[in-house]
Structure 1
């Protein structure tokens, strides 16, 4: 089969904003290539090496067969008992991207009627909440909300039955740890078992630490940043809190090599997941290839929701241990993370 390529058009305003986000260290991914043409995922399935890597060439790099998340066999066997709620605490989400509307966990206690029906202090948080603007607008536009969108669509790609709560606390280049704490607290009250944290802060925040520590039944899946730093030494939060319910994810390419900008750490980082030239869906159903640890974390969030769907009584720590122990060991990752391995969805669900 031939590699399928699409024409690429970089949107300068969007690209400059992304570069700035990376430089100031708030977000953990940047757009590598943004396709101007909408591409049918099914017709271009050949490109999605994270799902099935048979050695195809992506953007000039020939992959290594088997370096993928081993999910195809798992999809045939997995029969989830429950549909697990995953909160995407990030930018906003285009809930119509990749037909994701049916995956959104709606707040049935608060309909859209300009009344706080459930008396939680948030008017009409039917779909989620925007803690940056303090309103119920969970999607504004492509420029502000592509991050949360591709995180959510990646999670639902791994687990099509995952329930997603959009919880926005980032807007373009702005976001605070205090807003992150409020967003996390809200997600937990809404029933999230998994919270995807594809963002980092350089400074320790005790309130953020406490909200994670005090909710041991919630698994926090964290990206490790894109600064090519050893976060065993150069601490990064939430990754460096050292809690049993935090799992930290670095990014690899289609050969099993660590992404050149990925954060790493033989004791702090747990495992790797796809994060170079990874196919994702953006707002308005645009398709892009991305580099970075943010999307790598999303793969682990999706895998975690599959495990909890099948074994809903597992604790967050037990899910984490299952994912780490089942990772596919790679010599290339031996000194970069504690497991020395790549996410293996099939094995983790046995």
Structure 2
């Protein structure tokens, strides 16, 4: 009888140990709020069979040969490699390489995601190139509209105040495109002065008929917004609206389509669009998009960081980007990697790029949506990374929303840090003097401008969600 009791006790102990082990595995281990180093959830989504190569010098035959030899030793069939360069004859030394399993070359080890030599490297040599997956970069709204965006059913009432003699600020929108109906207001849009509609490359930038911008998704000049929610079009409307309230500057929108009908873009096309914007004299880039990762300033992002905070800043270009919204798949991955549910919106723990390339006094301004005391519970916050909140027009169903400008009839509302970003972009571009866009550009040149009419919220500051509790009011 005693032996049976002892056996039963042992069985109970084994069951308890097994349950504790299962709980430990499902929670990602005792990691607190930080992901484990070897977490498979650190890398965000990326294009399969592709790798973006950042050359540190113009590549010659010897460099290409060394890279291919290294790839072959990693199991890549180099005979199947195809190479894509930015269509716009860019001076940016980047290429997109395609081949079966090519993506494994960049993500097989954490160190490889951007490193070209050193421990765990691809063995190519640090003086040669950096490698990164072709990350997928999304512009999803916080909530999809019940009906798809229909330009034919939307009537706009846009007025243009006289701005004779005002400085012109060029704002490049890298997004899903623009409603054809809005392109009728041509005075609002940048027009390439060196190009004519003749199926030729008049300005010798390798793009034919890039009159108002370029479609980097389909590699043509069709800028039509084909996203379900009209994301890029709404971004443009919020920016235009800010120029209606201030007489300081005139606006030219440069439309660069980087995201497809599913509101998805990728890092390679976005970098090509950034180069186009810089070469065509953009003053501001609006980046209402991003991607989550559990790396913090690790090698996969070092070159992207350099392109924005060094390359664009050196050319006097301000980069305004979104703090990011709640997204189901990245949130699920983060929780599996050990980040608790209460910290999913905290950019200090759950990193969203390019927002998390900001923080210091560089050329990146990060925006989110707020009420009088807190950031929207569906959007990201950080007293270090988030520079400015935008006060929402109304709250509905747990979402902080903005009223879409220039819509006749029933008011329409949208929510998301994308639109807060556009409002900040428009406010800065409309009010800040043109001489603020000097190199090396710093965000403090703009955030101290009286015309922005920045308010301060003690509660926002106390809650440590926005730097200094600073916000502006949407008009």
TM-score by length of 2: 0.54
Shift of residue 195, structure 1, vs aligned partner: 0.4
Distance in 2, matches of 1:125 and 1:271, equals: 34
Shift of 1:279: 1.6
Task: Note the C-alpha offset of 1:162.
Answer: 1.5
1:259 matched to 2:376? yes
1:92 aligns to what? 177
Given the alignment, which residue of 155, 159, 170 partners 2:259? 170
Is structure 2 residue 388 aligned with structure 1 residue 271? Answer: yes
TM-fit CA distance, 1:341: 1.6
Output the CA distance in 1 between the equivalents of 2:409 and 2:269: 28
Contact 2:404 2:413 in 1 (8 A): yes
- Find the residue that maps to 2:253 and give its secondary structure: strand
The alignment status of 1:116 with 2:228, answered yes or no, reads: no
Q: Which SS does the other structure have where 1:163 is aligned?
A: strand
Which runs of structure 2 are paired with 1:214-225 in the superposition (5 Å)?
A: 214-216=311-313, 217-225=316-324
Query: Secondary structure of 2:415's partner?
Result: strand
Shift of 1:95: 4.8
Computing the radius of gyration from Cα coordinates, the structure with the larger value is: 2
Distance 1:313 1:140, change over 3 A: closer
Q: State the 1:296 CA deviation.
A: 0.2
Cα gap change, 1:256/1:82 in structure 2, threshold over 3 Å: closer, same or farther?
A: farther
* Counterpart for residue 192 of structure 1: 282
2:62 paired residue number: none
Aligned pairs, number = 287
Aligned match of 2:28? none
Measured on the aligned residues, the alpha-carbon RMSD in Å equals: 3.4
Q: CA deviation at 1:26?
A: 1.6
The one-character-per-residue Cα deviations of 1:19-50 (angstroms, maximum 9, x if unpaired) are: xxxxx9722533565689757769xxxxxxxx
Contact conserved, 1:33 with 1:289, CA < 8 A, in 2? no
User: Which of 28-37 and 98-107 deviates more?
Assistant: 28-37
1:147 and 2:270 aligned = no
- Residue 179 of structure 2 aligns to a residue in which SS? coil
Q: Deviations over 1:4-27 (max 9, x none)?
A: xxxxxxxxxxxxxxxxxxxx9722
Correspondence 1:312 to 2:438? no
Matches for 1:7-22 after TM superposition, within 5 Å: none
Task: Check the 8 A contact 1:258/1:332 in 2, yes or no.
Answer: no
Partner of 1:102: 187
Report the secondary structure of 1:205's partner residue. helix
Counterpart of 1:230 (choices 330, 336, 346) is 346
Q: Does the 8 A contact of 1:222 with 1:249 survive in 2?
A: yes
CA-CA distance at 1:277 after TM superposition = 2.4
TM-score of the aligned structures, taking structure 1 as reference length: 0.72
The residue number in structure 2 matching 1:332 is 459
Structure 2, unmatched stretches of 5+, are 1-135, 245-249, 294-299, 327-343, 393-399
Question: Contact 1:185 / 1:211 at 8 angstroms: preserved in 2?
Answer: no
Cα 1:180–1:206, aligned 2, differ >3 Å: closer, same or farther? Answer: farther
Of structures 1 and 2, the one scoring higher in RCO (CA 8 A, sep 6+) is 1
Structure 1 residues 283 and 345 mapped into 2: Cα distance closer, same or farther (>3 Å)?
Answer: closer
Structure 1: 4+ residue segments shifted above 4 A: 31-42, 281-287, 323-326
Report how far residue 321 of structure 1 moved: 3.2
CA deviation string 1:295-314 (max 9, x = no partner): 00001101111233x34345
Distance of 2:411 and 2:190 partners within structure 1:
24
C-alpha distance in structure 2 between counterparts of 1:265 and 1:80, whole Å: 40
What is the SS of the residue equivalent to 2:367? strand
Q: 2:270 aligns with which of 143, 167, 180?
A: 180
Give the equivalent residue in structure 1 for 2:416.
292
Alpha-carbon shift at residue 142 of structure 1 (Å): 5.3
The change in CA–CA distance for 1:38 and 1:29 in structure 2 (over 3 A counts) is same
**TM-aligned CA distance change 1:266 to 1:218, over 3 Å:** same
What is the alpha-carbon distance in structure 2 between the residues aligned to residue 156 and residue 285 of structure 1? 19
Q: What's 1:29 paired with?
A: 141
CA drift of 1:172 comes to 2.5
Q: Deviation at 1:344? A: 6.0
Encode CA deviations 1:223-259: one digit per residue, 9 max, x unaligned: 1111261112211111111351000011124x56421
Q: Indicate conservation of the 8 Å contact 1:323/1:343, yes or no.
A: no
The whole-number CA distance in structure 2 between the counterparts of 1:323 and 1:34 is 39
Contact 2:321–2:365 at 8 Å: present in 1 too? yes
* 33 and 163 in structure 1: CA distance in 2 versus 1, 3 angstrom threshold: same
**Are the aligned partners of 2:318 and 2:437 in contact in 1 as well (CA < 8 Å)?**
no
Q: In structure 2, what is the equivalent of residue 342 of structure 1?
A: 471
Distance 1:226 1:25, change over 3 A: farther
The separation in 1 between residues aligned to 2:276 and 2:268, in whole angstroms, is: 13
Unpaired segments ≥5 residues, structure 1: 1-23, 43-74
